[in-house]
Structure 1
Amino acid sequence: MTDPRDFVAHEAALLDERRLDDWLALFAEDGHYWVPLLGAAQADPFSHNSLAYEDRLLLQLRVDRLKNPRAHSQHPASHSQHVLQPSRVEREEGDEAWLRTPFLYVEARGEGQILLSGTARHHLVRTSAGWLIREKRVDLLNAGRALPAIQLFI
């Protein structure tokens, strides 16, 4: 897929289908998944705590835990639904693109359900195999408030 906006929709669909290995393969070797504690106000993941700041190794460990049949937090299994507004390409330079996508995220497990909203910001790099994620930043609306346990990936 050549349009980075299609890539963002594809990434969300993989998460909603629980195709976690395929989703992880979308990350570049130096890719990161970041959910700032201060939301859009947080300039970087190093000067303040984050809800999540994970490199490929930590993402792989989390995917492995979610797939493990003995993972207590996944009995019953969690499921997600990403509702995306159209992605907007904010900048393209050479083989890189930066996108902004407002979203609603629903995660359900058993009888419980949580609803989160925010903006996903993707920094993508084009490779011979297609687009890969260099960084996925998720700025949650009201990120600093008390949040329920989020099991999957926003």
Structure 2
Amino acid sequence: MTAPPRTVTRAEVEDLLFHEAELLDEWDLDTWLTLYTEDSHYVVPATDTPDGNPATDLVLIDDDRLRMRLRVERLNSRKAHREYPHSRLRHLVSNVRVREPEGDEIPVRANFVVWRARNGKDVTFVGSYEYRLVHRDGELRIRGKRVMLDMTSLRPANDVAIIL
């Protein structure tokens, strides 16, 4: 039987989400990856199926921890032409809502806006996050992150070359 997670405050959850946003904005991707558990999952469904299941539906990103690490290595490399030099980013997180625990997980929802500026082109990504948080070694960590884009088209962005 799984012990219920300890109670967390919205302020603790916000601190984690704001820290994640800061690390992404600073391109400190190696530290960003440490916020995630070894069994973590990062999913970005297609814009027309925000509830899409990566097992049965087309998704933009479906990364387990290994793929997340490989994505970080690629984005940190000078060979990542889509992101070298790095875009200037600003992740804004708002409307954080902590849900009732489900087993050892703490479900969290939040809204976001991410601005990306590169080569004279500015792009805005808008949407919502669904997180699954857990306690590991006395720390709050991310087991899952699902990014639902509210955009009807990726045409202005052309791609999702950054970590949202």
**Of 127-136 and 46-55, the range deviating more from structure 2:** 127-136
- Compute the TM-score of the two structures, normalised by the length of structure 1: 0.88
Name 1:18's counterpart in structure 2: 27
1:39–1:140 Cα contact (<8 Å) kept: no
CA RMSD of aligned residues (A): 2.1
**Of 142-151 and 86-95, the range deviating more from structure 2:** 142-151
- Compute the TM-score of the two structures, normalised by the length of structure 2: 0.83
Larger Rg: 2
Distance 1:145 1:21 in 2: 27
Distance 2:39 2:153 in 1: 27
Q: Identify which of 135, 140, 143 aligns with 2:144.
A: 135
CA displacement at 1:143 relative to structure 2? 5.2
Distance 2:128 2:48 in 1: 9
Name 2:86's counterpart in structure 1: 77
**Structure 1 unaligned blocks of 5 or more:** none
Name the amino acid aligned to 1:150: V
CA displacement at 1:41 relative to structure 2? 4.3
Name 1:152's counterpart in structure 2: 162
Q: Tell me the number of residue pairs that the alignment of Structure 1 and Structure 2 aligns.
A: 154
Distance 1:10 1:95 in 2: 22
Name 1:120's counterpart in structure 2: 129
1:45-84 matches, within 5 Å, as: 45-84=54-93
Secondary structure in 2 matching 1:87: strand
Q: 1:50-84, CA deviations, whole angstroms, 9 ceiling, x for partnerless residues?
A: 01010111111111111112322233321211112
Q: 1:80-131, CA deviations, whole angstroms, 9 ceiling, x for partnerless residues?
A: 1111213110222464211111111111212112101000111011111411
Secondary structure in 2 matching 1:99: strand
Q: Check 1:13–1:55 CA distance in 2 against 1; reply closer, same or farther (3 A cut).
A: same
1:5–1:89 Cα contact (<8 Å) kept: no
1:90 aligns with 2:99: yes
More strand by share: 1
Secondary structure in 2 matching 1:85: strand
